[in-house]
């Protein structure tokens, strides 16, 4: 199918984009990499009357580090983030996760901000942005505001952006070198959307017990699912097979809410979530142990 008719604008400045958003609001849909938007337009699920192409706006493409914090411009392609040494140095979880996002051809066009603004619960980037306590910079002609990840990612395909705003930048706070990390997912083929996946973070105290844990899941609910009880059950404990299994059970049975699909029933997604939890916690624990030696 072909999309319905639309007007097309390609401003070369952020101000030009924001003027169009101020004038047309929700009717003016930002076009980033087009890897999600264009298919939905072709299926006529989305029928914007105006497309505002962000690709000529160079000021939205950057990767910067300051005092351990990492800032990524919304229009930076996933491929550029994947190859950035600064990203792998400051935020290894991002570097390790990006190759799971679709295929290289899609990451060449798909943008970091586009995936986050799209907020597909099956996507990897919302889950890791939540796990890493990212902050989102929304801008309009009236100014800018920063939104915490848990507030920005409202629900499936819905984020905290007003009709006159766009997402300009995503900031990641300093990632302590003593934190162990892991990203694990299971998909039918490399590059497919995962049937279930998890981002795990873990740090240990001087006695080797868990002092911090985070478990955030993808594609097992209406948004990235933050399993706070499972992570909380690990804190103060030795990390061993018993505590790892207990956390996997809490997350898989009580905290996620999978819908199921043609590829996996909800029961199978719960099973996979427990499997990836165990694998991810073992790897995060290993990395945390290495860092405190």
**Residues in contact with ligand FAD by the rule CB under 6 A:** 29-37, 54, 74, 101-102, 106, 110-111, 113-115, 117-118, 120, 123-125, 161, 166-167, 193
Closest of 19, 94, 17, 7 to residue 50, by C-alpha: 7
Give the pair of three-digit tokens for residue 53. Answer: 């192409």
DSSP class of residue 193?
Answer: P
Q: How far is the CB of 11 from ligand FAD (least distance, A)?
A: 13
Q: How far is the CB of 166 from ligand FAD (least distance, A)?
A: 4
Which one, 36 or 277, has the nearer CB to ligand FAD?
36
Helix axis angle, 241-250 to 266-292, nearest 10°: 140
Which residues touch 268 (CB under 8 Å, ≥6 apart)?
Answer: 195, 260
Which one, 196 or 233, has the nearer CB to ligand FAD?
196
Handedness of CA 261, 247, 148, 136 (dihedral sign): negative
Sheet strands (E) in the chain: 7-9, 28-31, 50-53, 63-66, 69-73, 135-140, 143-148, 153-155, 158-159, 166-172, 180-186, 196-204, 210-218, 225-226
Q: How many CB atoms lie within 10 A of CB 99?
A: 16
CA dist., res. 181 & res. 273, Å (int): 17
Q: How far is the CB of 161 from ligand FAD (least distance, A)?
A: 6
CA dist., res. 242 & res. 249, Å (int): 11
Q: Residue 6 burial (CB < 10 Å; 0-12/13-18/19+)?
A: middle
- The answer to whether 138 touches 162, Cβ cutoff 8 Å, is yes
CA dist., res. 117 & res. 137, Å (int): 11
Q: How far is the CB of 251 from ligand FAD (least distance, A)?
A: 21
Which one, 30 or 92, has the nearer CB to ligand FAD?
30
Q: How far is the CB of 230 from ligand FAD (least distance, A)?
A: 23
Q: How far is the CB of 204 from ligand FAD (least distance, A)?
A: 31
- The answer to whether 128 touches 183, Cβ cutoff 8 Å, is yes
Which one, 50 or 210, has the nearer CB to ligand FAD?
50
Which one, 1 or 206, has the nearer CB to ligand FAD?
1
Q: How far is the CB of 133 from ligand FAD (least distance, A)?
A: 19
Which one, 103 or 177, has the nearer CB to ligand FAD?
103
Q: How far is the CB of 38 from ligand FAD (least distance, A)?
A: 6
Which one, 129 or 234, has the nearer CB to ligand FAD?
129
Which one, 70 or 168, has the nearer CB to ligand FAD?
168
């Amino acid at each position: 199918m072909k999309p319905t008719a639309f007007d097309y604008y390609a401003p070369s400045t952020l101000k030009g984009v924001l003027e169009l958003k101020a004038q047309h609001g929700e009717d003016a849909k930002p076009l980033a990499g087009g890897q999600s938007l264009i298919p939905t337009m072709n299926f006529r699920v989305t029928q914007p009357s105006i497309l505002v192409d962000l690709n000529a706006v160079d000021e939205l493409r950057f990767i910067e580090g300051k005092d351990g914090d990492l800032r990524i411009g919304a229009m930076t392609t996933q491929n550029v983030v994947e190859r950035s040494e600064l990203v792998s140095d400051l935020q290894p979880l991002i570097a390790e996760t990006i190759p799971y996002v679709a295929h290289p051809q899609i990451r060449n066009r798909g943008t970091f901000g586009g995936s986050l603004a799209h907020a597909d619960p099956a996507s990897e980037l919302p889950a890791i942005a939540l796990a890493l306590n990212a902050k989102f910079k929304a801008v309009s002609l009236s100014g800018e505001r920063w939104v915490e990840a848990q507030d920005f990612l409202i629900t499936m395909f819905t984020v905290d952006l007003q009709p006159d705003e766009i997402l300009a930048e995503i900031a990641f706070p300093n990632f302590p070198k003593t934190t162990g990390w892991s990203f694990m997912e299971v998909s039918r083929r490399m590059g497919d959307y995962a049937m279930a996946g998890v981002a795990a973070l873990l740090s240990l105290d001087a006695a080797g017990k868990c002092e911090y844990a985070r478990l955030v899941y993808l594609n097992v609910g209406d948004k990235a699912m933050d399993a706070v009880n499972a992570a909380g059950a690990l804190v103060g404990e030795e990390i061993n097979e018993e505590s790892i299994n207990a956390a996997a059970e809490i997350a898989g049975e009580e905290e996620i809410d999978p819908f199921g699909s043609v590829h996996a029933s909800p029961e199978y997604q719960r099973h996979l979530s427990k499997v990836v939890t165990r694998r991810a916690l073992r790897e995060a624990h290993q990395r945390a142990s290495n860092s405190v030696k």
